[in-house]
Structure 1
Amino acid sequence: MSALAAILLAQAAPAVAEVPLPMPVGEEMTARIEANDAKLFWGFFEACDPEMVAPMLHPDFRMIHDLVGLPASSAEKFIGQARKNCDSRKPGQPNEGYKNRRLLVPGSRTIGKLGEWGALEEAYHTFHEWRGEEIGWVQTGGARYLHIWQWMPGEGRFRLLESLSLDHGPAPRYPPATE
């Protein structure tokens, strides 16, 4: 071995074994899941930035949707579909200027621990589309969802493992009918 190689080898930092981090519980777990939920839906809807969301998905992610079945059997497929969707909103593309958003229904979310490995999030949300300055945002529907978040001890974070999206329906009448 050359002298230079020996010096460089001696100066190299020793490999540090990752210390698995314990899964947070209680308020810390809830806060992390709530933050993930906000970032996830912001990234897929308003920001339309699949690259921002990709690291949040477990490689084995899958989504089950009550209206279409299994639209994504992996994180890679799901992110690929999102890229196509977002690209179609760019100038000169078929959905140029399309904007949509998702809003969590306040008070509908529950988050529970799944053993020592994850968490189950369940909530309701509504969907909205931008209809221009004169009309603004219009609620177009709503649904319920269940997310299974797997704790990744070596990464110190939760990743979305599975999404079950169900009970999709039209937007409720607003204002509600009076009796």
Structure 2
Amino acid sequence: MLPSLVAALLLAQAPAAAVPAPQPMPTGDALEKRIVANDARLFWGFFEGCDPDAVSDLIHPDFRMLHDLVGMPLSSGAQMIEQSRRNCADRAPGGKNEGYRNRRLPVPGSRRIQKLGDWGVPEEGHHTFHEWRASHEGGRGGWEMTGGGRYIHSWQWMPEEGRFRLLESLSIDHGPAVPYPPQTAARP
């Protein structure tokens, strides 16, 4: 009994593990750069790079996706990561979609980022989707634009983590890609 009492006293006197102090949400250019970098990392991990585990830290556990063509295909961060793992496994050698490649590109001039107090940021813009074609114009491989859409992402600031996590993705207006340059862009 005495050794356990001594152990309890020693534990009580041990310094507590340092808990990181909450960090303030970035503002101005730092905020915009962080969101743009997160967006690029997110879509690289889920599309062209096909490495969802490398970007899982960007996804909020309570993530959900709403999509104009299929409703609510994803209702948790874990579900999003797992679905992407399966899709990437299907692209791997021997998979049912072996060799499939796709990419998403934001339409320049269409992105809008707006701060919502200290809670987070909505990011809105247009993007285009592309698939690799082994036989393309001139007999060489190349990327073919297959469509486009509009997205609104809700990035929640996580002060204890010092980063944003994607809480919600609204993916709408899917169809033919929007013309480039976008009509809202200034023309020379």
- TM (norm. structure 1) is 0.88
Deviation at residue 18 of structure 1 after TM alignment: 2.3
| Deviation per residue, 1:49-87 (Å, 9 max, x gap) | 110121110000000000000000000111111111111
Q: What's the secondary structure of 1:107's corresponding residue?
A: coil
- Which of 39, 51, 54 is the equivalent residue of 2:53? 51
Please show how residues 47-126 of structure 1 align to structure 2 within 5 Å.
47-126=49-128
- Gapped regions of structure 1 (runs ≥ 5): 175-179
Counterparts of 1:156 and 1:74 in 2: how far apart (Å)? Answer: 21
Any conservation in 1 of the 2:149–2:178 contact (CA below 8 Å)?
A: no
Q: What's the secondary structure of 1:34's corresponding residue?
A: helix
- Which of 26, 30, 33 is the equivalent residue of 1:31? 33
Tell me the matched-pair count.
172
Counterparts of 2:43 and 2:19 in 1: how far apart (Å)? Answer: 34
Identity among equivalent pairs (%)? 65
| Deviation per residue, 1:86-127 (Å, 9 max, x gap) | 110011111000000011101110100012110010011100
- TM (norm. structure 2) is 0.84
Q: What's the secondary structure of 1:55's corresponding residue?
A: helix
Q: Which amino acid aligns with 2:159?
A: P
| Deviation per residue, 1:28-63 (Å, 9 max, x gap) | 111100000000000000111110121110000000
Q: Which runs of 4+ in 1 moved over 3 A?
A: 8-14, 171-174
Q: What's the secondary structure of 2:35's corresponding residue?
A: helix
Say yes or no: does 1:128 pair with 2:130.
yes
Deviation at residue 26 of structure 1 after TM alignment: 1.1
- Which of 174, 177, 182 is the equivalent residue of 1:168? 174
Structure 1 residues 135 and 15, CA gap change in structure 2 (3 angstroms): closer
1:155 corresponds to? 161
Deviation at residue 145 of structure 1 after TM alignment: 0.2
